[in-house]
Structure 1
Amino acid sequence: MNAQDTSAEPKPDLPLEIAHVLLIDVVGYSKLLVNEQIELLQELNQIVRGTECFRAAETKGKLIRVSTGDGMALLFFHSPEEPARCALEISRTLQGHPHIQLRMGVHSGPVNQVTDVNDKTNIAGSAQRVMDCGDAGHILLSKRVAEDLQQLSHWRPHLYDLGEYEMKHGVRVSIVNLFTAELGNSERPRSLSKAPEKADTALPAQTSSKKGRARLLIGIGIFFVIFSLIVLAIVALIFTPAILRSRQAALPIPVQEQERPSGASLPAPEKSIAVLPFENLSSDKENAYFTDGVQDEILTDLAKIADLKVISRTSVMQYKTGIARNLRDIGQQLGVAHLLEGSVQRAANRVRVNAQLIDARTDAHLWGQTYDRDLADVFAIQSEVAKAIADQLQAKLSPNEKAAIEKPPTTDVTAFDLYSRAKNLVLTTTFSAVNKQKLLQAVDLLSQALARDSFFFLAQCQLAYAHDQLYFLGIDSRRTSLSRISRLRRRVG
């Protein structure tokens, strides 16, 4: 039976199963050096695999693990308690690893295990929207998960409703903060500083940032303040209207007013930028990976400048070209004042790179440049764009940062080609047989790149990461994988 015949046949409904997703994101990932990123993710993998919830679900065969580039997603299938417990376990372990800062999001929804986890199911997207609201240390839950956990008495003291908020594309999300006296982050996320669209009544509304004991003390304090005010008012009424007026003038601001959110979101830092995915204008659409590589290197160069706030690759890839972009909305969603757009066109041994700097607050065009050069000059173009952006944003650029930006990742364009293709494969790898082949193909491409340039540092790091993923996904044996990683790390060091 050929493929055409197969596609013509009616397909039976595929069974859906409720999955409980824990999405984990490394805060500040894009600011790390490449070898630091690799080592941190390896350490995080070991921490996650060491949790009791992870081992129990893996033993039962009821766990899907997905790498997300700067973190991971874990899909549990037994209970919403699993991702919540796992998040708290990870948070507890991280107390001994203060250099690892995470934010986590939890959501539940139907998913088909037969398809790839990233194959257009909205469950990961919902978890992403919840997690993106958090800061370092936060464990944020969707309303669906929180309502399930609220049915269990031991979870109730640790669930704090933050209200309902409108996200991009008009999607409304109710968010609940999970924390204990020792674990999680009790502070209100900075991105949720504005008043919620809708107050939530299904869970106790909690807007204070104090722990449970502190909230109790505040409640007692409010009671005594109100009681004292009533006594004072009565005394004032008994004696003279003048006393009443003086007392009213001296009344403290009510606690409710002090704690009320301002209703306005924090302004984006002036020296902040997101590098949006570049458009591939090459006639050969297979060059899309090369375009991604150029954009990624410009982003990486900008991230080397300490005076700039640069949004990570994972956060910006959702705005791939081909989708209508509202730059003001994107700037607000990412919390940046500036956006960099561009395109890459490659033909034979020539390359044309166009870059434009936009003020996301006003849609004003601040700077633009087209570079039409030999393909071998692509690395110089990347560093020139980064330095031009730093100059436009008046960012301080130290001699060491300038030298790091001007240093090309490799002098071999073909090696960079191979590396870019491999990195794209690694970053889109999920837990399935098809993606196992993608990961093995990436290892082969990176090996070819290193055969051409054995000092290609980024390729060495990416190869170490690929082998680490082979082990994490259970494709490679522990002994073989760790041996290869150890050899690569010695080369990198």
Structure 2
Amino acid sequence: MKVDNFFAELKRRNVYKVAVAYAVVAWLVIQVSSTVLPTFHAPEWVVQTLVMLVALGFPIALVIAWAFEATPEGIKRTEVADAMPAAARQKKHAWIYIVVIGGGISVALFFVGRYSAMRTAAPRPASAELRRGEQSEAAAVAPKSIAVLPFDNLSRDPDNAYFCEGVQDEILTRLAKVADLKVISRTSTQHFKSAPDNLPQIAKQLGVAHILEGSVQKASDQVRVNVQLINAVTDAHLWADTYDRKLTDIFAVESEIAKTIAETLQARLSGSEKQMMAAAPTTDTIAYELYLKGRFFWNKRTGADLKRAIDYFKQAIAKDPNYALAYAGLADSYTLLSVFSAASPHDSIPQARAAAKKALELDNTLAEAHASFGRILSGYDYDFERAIAEFERAIQLNPNYATSYHWISNGPLTARGEFDRAIAEGKRAVELDPLSMIDNADLGQVYFYAHRYDEAISQVGKALEIDPHSYLAHFYLGQIYQIQGHLTEAIAEYQKAVELDDDPQALAFLGQAQARIGQHDKAQKILSRMTEEAKSRYVSAYSFALMFIALGDKERAIDALERAYREGAANDIITIKVDPMLEDLRGHPRFEALAEKIVPAREFKAGTASK
């Protein structure tokens, strides 16, 4: 068939008319669906499927138009229609009306949709700059990001609150193992109530595109879990479901929910990630509740709370001796005891090391256990290379575990003067746990060590916004003010820290600052108090060193630092080469020899961090 004859045949068989009419009607269907379906919170895949079906139908319609023809006697094959009398084949012009009317409706819906979208996206923009800012901010939010808000406890018994938190935490933990997702830590999500009214503001504060809400009702050995996944930007409900199961099946429910969320957000899942999401941390729900209580007090970061955390972790282990996560929590708590003057390294680190090793023996794929061991290697063994390897392994196993980024940042990387990477890792920790006081405060401390004092003040200020009663953040702020030469402001912050907690290190910071402004009597009284307290509790040698430096006794200050080294109090002195509080000792042969033992020159990569 010649080309000219072929196109003439297409025209004779009304293929052109069908193509035009199909295109107009298809566009009308798509416009109606994209305008109406979101009103009923239909998921995006419904519209996408409809568009695909419409596209697939186009060639089918053209084939039918070629093979068949509409006549007053009904649909006939084209060959039969051609043999009919001309009167019987008289064409009507209804298709023209379909095209005109459909086109008009489609155009109207197109402009209505555009107008509505503009009104929704920017109800009252103050300026072009504001609009651009909002657009760039929206673009910065990862589309595959989620925060799991606290679940509502619908049980009559308030004691079930911890179980309810456990369901939320376990879903979050399983999602966190997926590298393709950004999952906000529970420390930050706990600042909000379940089912809040201001989802867009919460999502913006947490830096996510999606929110998971839910509720838990527990009665005897039965449990009901309701969940709904919401696009926080559009307020569209992407998925919801209710699970009625036996209490013993709760971990399977949590795994199923996490897997469905990951699939709904179109996250890529590796085989190992699927296995980790399906694994149950323990078969004992009581042990899991005890573990959650332990993590709650661990996050408070005071000596007394760490001791309570240890008690809960031990109870969890007693319930389930193979509970690897509980051993990791126990290791983390013992590791921090000396940091918060609640025990000496000699009394706490052996227990921390044993718990971390036990956790790894039980589950070598547990990110928390690798992070625990990394903390011990850097904070007590001065083994920075192996510590970094352990933290990196933890990050590989759980890319959303904020503590791994936090500890690699303010531990070995800062000690070795790798400030650019230390700050980047610290920022990632804050991104994953934006409302964590300790993550924000310790990032501020990294800025302090890097001599970026304005940024340090800003970051520690964020920590104080989250928790105004954090004594740690107050004495961090005092340090920065002191190095900037603002001793009066520094003393005010140190005083607040002392009033908020009885940590002897906070007292030492106050005393050394008083000595520096000439209040030697007050400083000597604090030194005497520290000496007396050291008889009955742990007072770090670093705290004594700060006092002796301020009082002008450099030899005793170095004696104290050497004692810290012998006692294994590495957490206090691994930053010896970058700590501005030790500046007065630099150049002293004994001090430099000690610094070389702690951070050898071959490992120190120093310089001021680039801005």
Q: Which TM-score applies when normalising by structure 2?
A: 0.36
If each structure's helix is expressed as a fraction of its own residues, which one has the higher value? 2
State the TM-score, normalized to the length of structure 1: 0.44
Larger radius of gyration between Structure 1 and Structure 2: 2
